[in-house]
Amino acid sequence: MSGHYVVLSRKYRPKNLDDLIGQEVMAQFIRTCLNENKVPHAFLFHGIRGIGKTTTARILARCLSCVGNNDPSRPTSSPCGTCKSCIAIDNDNHMDVMEFDAASRTGVDDIREIVESTQYVPVLGKSKIFIIDEVHMLSKSAFNALLKTLEEPPPHVKFIFATTELSKVPETVLSRCMTFQLNPIPTAKLAEHVLDIANKEGFTMEAEAAEIVATESGGSVRDALSMLDQIIMLSYKEGSITSDTVIKTIGGARQCDVDAILDFVITGNPSDATQLTEHVIASGCAPFTLFSSLQSTLYKRITEHVRKRDKKLSNLLYLWQILLKQTENMKSAEHPEHVLIAAIVILAHTASFPKIEDLMIKDQPTADNSYNLVQKILARFPGSDVSEIG
Ligand SMILES: [Zn+2]
């Protein structure tokens, strides 16, 4: 490897609405606004980090500024990519597109500067665009300074805000924006994207390896691609990416181990379940990562049972509830591995609980078989005196 390495999230940053993955509904909405030339003067994109908020903001800026299309009075939903405006945006030096990070420029003076510059007409493109990232970080006085301009901006001015914390954006600002929530990218879709980029970079990649990366990144494209950056660094010699390499790089768990732990749990074998869990953690997998993998694997099994209309579902749902309740404990625990092991033990013991399906009565309920049901339930618990009933 020689020269300057461009990180994958930058190299493969989407440049058009069509390239955005997992945000099809929003993309279609924006496309319609642009094609109908009914573009609001302020947009706000919110959602977790790394799912494309600022990327969408830049794509929108591109659509609003492109001068390569025939009608100069209208925006376009498919910017040409070759005009001076498109090129300037790609090179981050467009004179009419200003990007601010509210995390570092939170003060009222910064906003006054923006407000002042809205008076000048665009130099290169059709609009003057202000992208404010992490807009919730602006101070109260900064928001107030912005409000009047946001209410009645000059016709050539567009504001595009992005935030990870919508609840911290004042209602007065929200009510003046067209708001879009960006969703975490579904695992299967993200895995496909990771695999595609690995191939474009000249690597073969096991499907399971891509799936681990996608699961680990929690639906964030940026996190998935920075993981892939690291994995690629370690895979240059081999030219191929295996799930073992991924696990070594990110400290994940092998799917076969996760499946085996879950099988031990379901068959009521706490001893083997905890032993394997300890082994996986000792091999370098972070407890929370293993916990998340167990959760997503259990989720997959539940959906498979639902699809097959399998009636023996209640036990899995019960396990799911127990795992879900441990999420916060896992996050806040000083020793998350202890919480995980304890959860595994509890889960494995639930296998000996009576299952709802076993207790169901096939015929119509009558006083007689209701009595049988109560007896049946009580008989499962040691020490209960069945003769007292009735
Ligand atoms: Zn263009």
Question: What separation in Å is there between the alpha carbon of 54 and the centre of ligand 1?
Answer: 19
Give the pLDDT score at 210.
Answer: 95
Question: What separation in Å is there between the alpha carbon of 116 and the centre of ligand 1?
Answer: 27
Helix (H) or strand (E) holding 361: none
Taking domain 8-181, whether its CATH number is 3.40.47.10 is answered by no
- Domain edges within the chain: 8-181, 187-250, 255-356, 360-388
Give the pLDDT score at 365.
Answer: 53
Q: 357, 344, 161, 339: which is closest to 261 by C-alpha?
A: 344
Question: What separation in Å is there between the alpha carbon of 62 and the centre of ligand 1?
Answer: 7
Give the separation between CA 172 and CA 236, rounded to whole angstroms: 52
Question: What separation in Å is there between the alpha carbon of 73 and the centre of ligand 1?
Answer: 14
Question: What separation in Å is there between the alpha carbon of 21 and the centre of ligand 1?
Answer: 22
Q: What is the pLDDT of residues 227-277, one digit of tens each?
A: 999 999 988 888 999 988 888 888 778 888 999 999 999 899 999 999 999
Question: What separation in Å is there between the alpha carbon of 5 and the centre of ligand 1?
Answer: 27
Question: What separation in Å is there between the alpha carbon of 235 and the centre of ligand 1?
Answer: 38
Question: What separation in Å is there between the alpha carbon of 56 and the centre of ligand 1?
Answer: 16
Fold of 255-356: Zinc Finger, Delta Prime; domain 3 (1.20.272)
In this structure, are residues 184 and 46 in contact, taking their beta carbons and an 8 Å threshold? no
Give the pLDDT score at 163.
Answer: 96
Question: What separation in Å is there between the alpha carbon of 146 and the centre of ligand 1?
Answer: 29
Question: What separation in Å is there between the alpha carbon of 90 and the centre of ligand 1?
Answer: 10
Give the pLDDT score at 379.
Answer: 64
Which residue do the tokens 């003060």 mark?
Answer: 107
CB atoms near residue 243 (< 10 Å): 20
Residue ranges of the chain with per-residue pLDDT less than 70: 1-3, 70, 311, 352, 354-390
Q: What is the DSSP string of 140-177?
A: HHHHHHHHHHHHS--TTEEEEEEES-GGGS-HHHHTTS
Taking domain 187-250, whether its CATH number is 2.40.30.10 is answered by no
Q: 157, 177, 108, 165: which is closest to 133 by C-alpha?
A: 165
Give the pLDDT score at 34.
Answer: 95
Question: What separation in Å is there between the alpha carbon of 70 and the centre of ligand 1?
Answer: 10
Give the pLDDT score at 370.
Answer: 56
Give the pLDDT score at 97.
Answer: 94
Quote the pTM value.
Answer: 0.72
